[in-house]
Amino acid sequence: MVPYSVIFTLILLTSYVSVSTSKASDGMRHDVRHFPDGFLFGTATASYQIEGAWNEDGKSENIWDHMTHENPCVIDDCSNGDIADDSYHQYKRDVEMMRELGLHYYRFSLSWSRILPTSFPDKINEAGVAYYNNLINEMLKYNIEPMVTLYHWDLPQKLQELGGWANPHIVDWFGDYARIAFELFGDRVKYWITMNEPREVCYQGYGYTTKAPRLNIHGIAEYMCAKNLLVAHAKAYHIYDEEYRALYGGTIGITLSITWHEPESEDDAQAAEDENQFEWGIYVHPVFSVTGDFPPVMKEKIAAKSAAQGFARSRLPEFTAEEIEYVRGSSDFLGMNYYTAYLVYRNESVYSAHAVPSFYDDMDCVRYQPANWEGGASKWLKKVSWSFYKSLMKIKEDYNNPIVYITENGYSTTGGLDDDDRILYIREYIDAMLDAIEDGANVQAYTAWSLMDNFEWMQGYTERFGLYEVDYQSPERTRTPRKSAFIFKEMVRSHALDWHYEPDTTVMTIDEGH
């Protein structure tokens, strides 16, 4: 591993970066580091990205089905998730891979339109329910806990036509869907996640064009979406808490995308803090802060900008006092998807850098990634593991040290079984996570993204995140373990991060004692 001190020196050649020192950055790295007792390991996927069977057995259309069929080449390789990894038919192989890795749990999402083809609870699709029952029961047969995400971006198209997350009625629609899921699977599922990455749902899908439904109503739609999504999350949480927790004894939370924003210079400290608040404080603050509500800096800036632009009221919708209390505290844990970081600055140039109105104009910042930060196949994914430590410590300090599950962390390549870049990324990030745990962060689980290659949203199949490589030319979608799968398997087995472990990758076996 390249010492962090070297990385910092390279960064400082081009810009000032105020990085607080962690144990991993002081050159005193331990060759073997052990995880706390009870620490859990898993991998993750999402329904649209792996299931396929897009219109089989009664499933109806979702927004990704609709978008990729109406405009195929909006995706980089003009592909779609019609077949994807064919997990709808290959779920036993998926569970076999979980067994090979020795996972404690597997995080996957339900397809709303596969379970409720009308989008509403008037009709439950028994074939879709049977698929999830089969998957869950196969996992439990081998003591692998299901961690179920209710919503991972594949909204039923019929609900989108009614306004989707911009329609406040979606709070009740989502609550109805959540109750059905708890009824169907709650006796066996003990880990629930309501939403995956609200920022990507709202900013990229409603304010911009990099996720379905690509509304591109910037500065307005992402804020409407944010409020409704948070209240819908709270609705599902309270349904579980009041109707199912005593019956089934599970836990329920929300998963947020956290990205660290570091000031380019000492003068940019406030800009970086504002960026953190806009990018993820918008979702963390209402749920996990003592006061609830949107972050004060967002309320102030957007109200002032809206007034200056001639709007009759702030473009950021207000929570009522009742809604603030309803959302505040509505999560047993913080699910954290973490990948990368940016540098941030603010000067006169930012006032002409963004569309008006827009999310980035509202915060008056510019973020970027230096050219010398190492990256993978995804343009946005730079390897900056020190930022993982800083994000975890900020969550600990600002939000009363909540239970944190790392629900995604991973690295993209263009393919191939020898993925040393992915291995280095995972090891460095886990090293930083262990530093944070030693310094008091309440991290209890780590989830690798992803179990296998999958449909990577707008990038299609051009970027590969899997511990297992998927052969998309094979009708069986053959899955083959990469070198990183062997490294991850050993980490789970030994409950330790061993920097010198080099696996024999000739065969992947199942530990029958798991």
How far apart, in Å, do the first and last CA atoms of the chain sit? Answer: 31
pLDDT value of residue 5: 37
Let me know: does 232 contact 174? Beta carbons within 8 Å.
Answer: yes
Which pair of tokens denotes residue 225? 């979406």
71 CB burial (10 A radius; 0-12, 13-18, 19+):
exposed
Would residue 318 count as lying in a domain? yes
Would residue 332 count as lying in a domain? yes
Would residue 312 count as lying in a domain? yes
Q: Rounded distance, CA 166 to CA 225, Å?
A: 5
Would residue 512 count as lying in a domain? no
Pick from 89, 6, 13, 2: which is nearest to 477 by CA? 89
Would residue 12 count as lying in a domain? no
Helix axes 221-243 and 170-185, enclosed angle (nearest 10): 40
pLDDT value of residue 7: 36
3-class secondary structure, 347: coil
Let me know: does 196 contact 109? Beta carbons within 8 Å.
Answer: yes
Could you give the number of structural domains in the chain? 1
Would residue 127 count as lying in a domain? yes
- Which residues constitute the domain of residue 93? 31-498
CATH number, domain containing residue 152 = 3.20.20.80
Whether 428 sits among the annotated catalytic residues: the reply is: no
Q: Rounded distance, CA 212 to CA 68, Å?
A: 9
Which pair of tokens denotes residue 81? 């998730």
Which pair of tokens denotes residue 282? 């918008």
Q: What is the pLDDT along the chain (514 residues), one digit of tens a residue?
A: 444 333 333 333 333 343 333 454 444 567 999 999 999 999 999 999 999 999 999 999 999 999 999 999 999 999 999 999 999 999 999 999 999 999 999 999 999 999 999 999 999 999 999 999 999 999 999 999 999 999 999 999 999 999 999 999 999 999 999 999 999 999 999 999 999 999 999 999 999 999 999 999 999 999 999 999 999 999 999 999 999 999 999 999 999 999 999 999 999 999 999 999 999 999 999 999 999 999 999 999 999 999 999 999 999 999 999 999 999 999 999 999 999 999 999 998 887 889 999 999 999 999 999 999 999 999 999 999 999 999 999 999 999 999 999 999 999 999 999 999 999 999 999 999 999 999 999 999 999 999 999 999 999 999 999 999 999 999 999 999 999 999 999 999 999 999 999 999 999 999 875 5
Q: Rounded distance, CA 399 to CA 270, Å?
A: 19
Which of 145, 273, 408, 463 does the annotation list as catalytic?
408
Would residue 171 count as lying in a domain? yes
Helix axes 87-101 and 126-141, enclosed angle (nearest 10): 20
Which of 51, 100, 145, 197 does the annotation list as catalytic?
197
Let me know: does 169 contact 162? Beta carbons within 8 Å.
Answer: yes
26-49 in b/e form (b: 16+ CB < 10 A) is eeebeeebebeeebbbbbbbbbbb
Would residue 481 count as lying in a domain? yes
pLDDT value of residue 513: 58
Let me know: does 245 contact 187? Beta carbons within 8 Å.
Answer: no
Whether 197 sits among the annotated catalytic residues: the reply is: yes
Q: Rounded distance, CA 315 to CA 363, Å?
A: 13
Q: How far is CA 160 from CA 62, 205, 264, 315, in A?
A: 9, 11, 40, 21
